Amino acid sequence: MMTMKRGFLALLTLLLTMSAPGLRAEVLVLVHGYLSGANYWDESGVNSVLLQHGWQRAGVFTFGPGGIALVSAPGRRAANKFYAVDLPPEAPVLVQVYLLHEALDAITRDHPREPLVLVGHSAGGVVARTALVRGDSRNVKALITIASPHLGTVRAEQALDATDIPFPLSLVTDFFGGELYDTARRSRSLYVDLVRPQPGSLLYWLNSQPHPDIRYFSIVRAGTQAGGGDYIVPAYSQDMNNVPALRGRSTLLTIPAGHGLAPQDGRLLIKVLDELG
């Protein structure tokens, strides 16, 4: 009888421990945006906020000629940890999605029973959402996007116009255009993916596809532009509730900020993560 009683008490203690508030095992996956990299989460102060609230660095996924590689960090076995992916920021969305898929596969193998939360900034939010729609939703419980152009941006269209210069005039711009112009020329395929939805475009297709039954959070710049938003992406485009396939499914959080990341984005992430529990 005493042995049974002790066994019952041990089981009860385990159940109470597992359900105690604040105790969870989760994986955060950070997806950067255009002209950025995995280190931007550090440079912006977002990672500092995560560390202050008990989240630990698990590592950074990089991609090169030899394939995927993980630069591991001590927090890989912590209860709550975050990975970052270092994607080629000028590449088309589907190229970045393929590489993100490799990272998510590796994370799922390493943490098979831990839920994942994807966080994407700017174009990284579109990359993360596309990955989910294309089947990378295993273990994913939520998607959080920050200032992401879910309904495109006129800036992508302007960049395409600026770099669509016919031969032989293009020889002049190639010679005198400088580094910024060269970057824009290399990014044309990505710009095509981020134009406002129209038949045949990636966003037109993506925004009509069935999305996984998970939680969605849109962090939107309140901004000073007409209609809100920031200089790069208007507010309506940052709100996933305006995506036809996601109407009414995204929790909206607005923040007075520019397009770039800042420590206040880290504080909002902590608020969302606490809500997710």
Domain of 208, CATH number, reads: 3.40.50.1820
189 in any annotated domain: no
Query: What is the pLDDT, as a whole number, of residue 224?
Result: 62
What's the rounded Cα separation, in Å, for the pair 217 and 275? 11
pLDDT tens sequence across 15-60: 333 333 344 579 999 999 999 999 999 999 999 999 999 999 999 9
197 in any annotated domain: no
pLDDT tens sequence across 193-218: 999 999 999 999 999 999 999 999 99
114 in any annotated domain: yes
User: Torsion-angle region of residue 135: left (phi > 0), alpha (psi -120 to 50) or beta?
Assistant: left
Query: At 234, phi and psi to the nearest 5?
Result: -70, 155
Query: What is the pLDDT, as a whole number, of residue 165?
Result: 60
For tokens 């993916």, the residue is: 193
Q: What is the pTM of this model?
A: 0.88
Buried b (16+ CB within 10 A) or exposed e, 48-62: ebbeeeebbbbbbbb
- How many domains does the chain contain in total? 1
Task: State yes or no: pLDDT of 8 exceeds 70.
Answer: no
215 in any annotated domain: yes
173 in any annotated domain: no
Task: State yes or no: pLDDT of 94 exceeds 90.
Answer: yes
User: For residue 136, what are the domain limits?
Assistant: 25-153+203-276
- In 3D space, the residue among 243, 238, 237 whose CA is nearest the CA of residue 206 turns out to be 243
Query: What is the pLDDT, as a whole number, of residue 93?
Result: 98
What residues does 215 pair with on adjacent strands? 142
Query: What is the pLDDT, as a whole number, of residue 24?
Result: 58
- Average pLDDT across the chain, whole number: 88
